[in-house]
Structure 1
Amino acid sequence: MKVIVGLGNPGPQYAETRHNIGFLLIDLLAEAYNLQFRTKFQGLWTEGNVEGERLILLKPQTFMNLSGRSVSELTNFYKVLGGDLLIVHDDMDLPLGKIRLRDQGGAGGHNGIRSILAEYGSEKFWRLKLGVGRPPREWDPARYVLSPFAEDELTQLDDLLERAEKVTNLWIKGESGRAMNLYHR
């Protein structure tokens, strides 16, 4: 079993924001695999068979800073090990369009990851970091990640999500090394 969790905030006011890029990818995957969401584990989740693996997708509905509650509820229920857990989240330290796949690490200032680390009890789980870029100097970083993508960034966003979908497909098949070689650019 593989579990992919996309981080974001619930509610229409956050739907198209940088902080919700994890939700955007999970929605794309659910659509590609023709999966329908249900409510459980303090989130929206769905499951199906993909690439010969049972796959669970989760969008925590606890708000970003409490994402760990939803993630730990699901991982405890299914006894998911870190090697089978992929957390997808925004990363301001990466320019818009960049992707990084890592198998462990700290929070790096990301409150959603900080919450997961506290609740899950280990830093040994996969992360797919999707670059959203740094805010202009005059912007507060919190305001920046809660802002929508600019019109001129939407093509880059679409390309980023398309490549991230390919990374997740390789990760599901156990080809994480290949994914890193092909998509870290």
Structure 2
Amino acid sequence: MKLVIGLGNPGAQYEKTRHNVGFHVVDLLANIHALRWERQGRAMIASGVIGHEKVVLVKPTTYMNNSGEAVGELVRWFKLEPDDILVIYDELDLPIGHIRLRARGSSGGHNGINSLISHLHTNQFPRLRVGIGRPTNKHIDTVNYVLGVPGSTEQIEMEIAERKAADAVPLYLEKGLDATMNLINVDPEAQQKAEEKRRLKQERREQEKKRKAEELARQASAAKPENNPTDNLATSD
């Protein structure tokens, strides 16, 4: 059994903000797999099966900074280990549209993750980060940015990333953490650059082989004895 936890803030005023992408992803999962939300303790949960795995989707109702209180209660209630949970949340240090799966790590300054680490007494739990980028306007402070609503173009990119994150969860449940990280943590731009680098290296190797072959041919030609023009002349007595 797995707990799949989306982090966010309850309430209509926060519903469409960048900070609530974790809620958006688990809402997508609940819709896709026809799971119904109900209250348990200080969280909304939706239970069911995704693939072959029993899953409980979670939205803490304690507000972001106290997410660990609700998650800690559920982990103890279901008698789970930290590696039986997957936490989905917004990440400033990832560009919009990118997602990353990690096995463990620090909070990176994210208050929701700080709270989870504090209440679970470990940072050894998987997390799926959804990039929201940093503000391009340096006069916007981080709090106002994450609690802000993205514009229309950015909203489209965010929805694409949320869909990618929702698609990654069944992969994680089926294939496991390491295999899924290998599948989804590939940066398309970095992959394209790496492919171009491999192509250029191959071209250089081919050019070097051709150059060496031509050099060997020249050396072989230079080593042949030249015919003396008088060799074939008849000699007279």
Q: What's the TM-score once normalised by structure 1's chain length?
A: 0.97
Instruction: Give the distance between the partners of 1:96 and 1:41, measured in 2 at CA.
Output: 33
Identical positions, percent: 38
**Equivalence for 1:18:** 18
C-alpha contact (below 8 Å) 2:82/2:120 kept by paired residues? no
Q: Deviations over 1:120-153 (max 9, x none)?
A: 1111111001000001211110000000111111
Instruction: Give the distance between the partners of 1:26 and 1:165, measured in 2 at CA.
Output: 7
The higher relative CO (CA closer than 8 Å, separation ≥ 6) is in 1
Instruction: Give the distance between the partners of 2:170 and 2:52, measured in 1 at CA.
Output: 11
1:6 aligned partner, one-letter code = G
Deviates more, 1:27-36 or 1:165-174: 165-174
Deviates more, 1:59-68 or 1:40-49: 40-49
Instruction: Give the distance between the partners of 2:153 and 2:55, measured in 1 at CA.
Output: 34
Q: Match of 2:3, SS? A: strand
Instruction: Give the distance between the partners of 2:63 and 2:53, measured in 1 at CA.
Output: 29
Instruction: Give the distance between the partners of 1:158 and 1:179, measured in 2 at CA.
Output: 21
2:7 aligned partner, one-letter code = L
Is there any run of 5+ residues in structure 2 with no aligned partner, and where?
A: 188-237
Q: What's the TM-score once normalised by structure 2's chain length?
A: 0.76
Instruction: Give the distance between the partners of 1:158 and 1:111, measured in 2 at CA.
Output: 23
Deviation at 1:156, TM superposition (A): 1.1
Instruction: Give the distance between the partners of 1:50 and 1:99, measured in 2 at CA.
Output: 20
**Equivalence for 2:160:** 159
Deviation at 1:45, TM superposition (A): 0.4
1:37-52 aligned at under 5 Å gives the runs 37-52=37-52
Deviation at 1:39, TM superposition (A): 0.6
**Equivalence for 2:174:** 173
2:183 aligned partner, one-letter code = L
**Equivalence for 1:183:** 184
C-alpha contact (below 8 Å) 1:41/1:71 kept by paired residues? no
Q: Match of 2:119, SS? A: helix
Instruction: Give the distance between the partners of 1:85 and 1:174, measured in 2 at CA.
Output: 15
Q: Bigger radius of gyration, 1 or 2?
A: 2
Deviates more, 1:108-117 or 1:158-167: 158-167
Q: Match of 2:144, SS? A: helix
Aligned residue-pair number: 185
> Pairwise CA RMSD of aligned residues?
1.0
Larger proportion of helix = 2
C-alpha contact (below 8 Å) 1:101/1:127 kept by paired residues? yes
1:141 aligned partner, one-letter code = T
Is there any run of 5+ residues in structure 1 with no aligned partner, and where?
A: none
Instruction: Give the distance between the partners of 1:83 and 1:39, measured in 2 at CA.
Output: 24
Q: Deviations over 1:151-177 (max 9, x none)?
A: 111221121112111211111114322
C-alpha contact (below 8 Å) 2:99/2:130 kept by paired residues? yes
1:122 lines up with 2:113 in the alignment: no
Q: Match of 1:59, SS? A: strand
Instruction: Give the distance between the partners of 1:104 and 1:174, measured in 2 at CA.
Output: 18
**Equivalence for 1:81:** 81
1:84 aligned partner, one-letter code = D
> Runs ≥4 in structure 1, deviation > 2 angstroms?
174-179
C-alpha contact (below 8 Å) 1:37/1:45 kept by paired residues? yes
C-alpha contact (below 8 Å) 2:64/2:112 kept by paired residues? yes
Q: Match of 1:101, SS? A: strand
